[in-house]
Structure 1
């Protein structure tokens, strides 16, 4: 088993592990219950970690996780003139849907 990466929280760690599993990479979340020890232990030692079972899948797992972490952000201009960035499908200003 190899440690792939630390995650900022348990929800993201679980999401990353699920994405890897869907791609056929055996992955698990370790340290999922250690956040309650933060303060007694250094906080960076209490973050959840993603581990993969098969060492030969390390390159594929890193590539997939890098793609997930670097998704392009959309940007569009609404009819009302507002610039909407990120994954929003409706304008925050007027409520219109993305064209």
Structure 2
């Protein structure tokens, strides 16, 4: 169970950090899925959606529905968590650079 918790926390951090690199700090769930895959997290689209919903509940991203998919936009609070300036339980804290 501890490994599962660690994996979820790391996946959420990868999502936030990926959004930092995107133009306009936003991406659709397909791009986010590719980013996770690129960092070694092969997860289902359903898992991506669950992470995005959780991140929205924590006010780390905002979501827009566009028919069959969602667009996630990084919030200021989400950027603070991605850079380690704020801590949210459930998101891995990044290492110092």
Does TM, scored on the shorter chain, surpass 0.5? no
The TM-score with structure 1 as length reference comes to 0.27
User: Larger C-alpha radius of gyration, 1 or 2?
Assistant: 1
Higher helix share: 2
